[in-house]
Structure 1
């Protein structure tokens, strides 16, 4: 089963508390800090599945660095059950980062204050679907 998005912008949540993208605090251990570091260091290289699995893996205590076979087994087990997608990520929910997926499902961070974000979120880019991140607060 393919859980990735293609040609899609996950736009910031309606109730996002910032109007400019900010680097998440947390020293690399929070979900937001881990995801930001991965995507900032590897623009256009990772898929949603990569980010979800690597975020979980990096936050496991005492796991060490698994071998290739162990990593493959862990990944298979990780995706055996339901997983929240990146619409639930704190990056577009709280920190003002849009997540732009290309035709191969690879993600690039897109700051909410950028011209590119405004153009895509405004529907001016044909072929790119815009989906909002999930709200933090209930209505």
Structure 2
């Protein structure tokens, strides 16, 4: 089953507390999900799918590191055997002001909410890109 988005912008949540994108910070000396997802997407813009980001951010928070490829593949299959929240629930578009822009191959890159590209897509000026809002942090 394919959980990826294609030609889609996950726009910043309506209740996002920032007015321009900010880089997430580690908390208590540990990398948060937001930090891990930010680092992964920023390091490889247009190189990862939603599935890659969800699984790798989960895996990097587990112990121990340095698994075999077979163990990695087994854990990935096990991870996706359960329902997973999509990147609409990611802290990046919910709290930190980062849109998540997926291309036609389902690869994601960061798109800061203050950028001209983000503003044009949200305004409907870019044909072929569907806009989905990130999930709100609080109920309306």
**Same fold by TM-score greater than 0.5:** yes
* Structure 2 unaligned blocks of 5 or more: none
Q: Which residue of 2 aligns with 1:22?
A: 22
Q: Tell me the TM-score normalised to structure 2 length.
A: 0.96
Structure 1 position 29, deviation (Å): 1.5
Number of matched pairs: 138
Structure 1 position 66, deviation (Å): 1.0
Runs of 4+ in 1 over 6 A off after TM superposition: none
The reply to whether residue 32 of structure 1 matches residue 34 of structure 2 is: yes
* Structure 1 unaligned blocks of 5 or more: none
Distance in 1, Cα, partners of 2:80 & 2:2: 10
Asked if structure 2 preserves the Cα contact closer than 8 Å seen for 1:10 and 1:133, the reply is yes
Q: Which residue of 2 aligns with 1:50?
A: 52
Secondary structure of the 1:131 match is strand
**Structure 1 vs Structure 2 CA RMSD:** 0.9
Structure 1 position 65, deviation (Å): 1.4
Q: Which residue of 1 aligns with 2:91?
A: 90
The reply to whether residue 75 of structure 1 matches residue 51 of structure 2 is: no
Q: Deviation per CA, 1:72-102, whole angstroms, max 9, x where unpaired?
A: 0000000001000000000000000000000
Distance in 1, Cα, partners of 2:58 & 2:66: 13
Q: Tell me the TM-score normalised to structure 1 length.
A: 0.97
Q: Which residue of 1 aligns with 2:115?
A: 114
Distance in 1, Cα, partners of 2:4 & 2:98: 18
Asked if structure 1 preserves the Cα contact closer than 8 Å seen for 2:7 and 2:129, the reply is yes
Asked if structure 1 preserves the Cα contact closer than 8 Å seen for 2:25 and 2:31, the reply is no
Secondary structure of the 2:9 match is strand
Distance in 2, Cα, partners of 1:72 & 1:135: 32
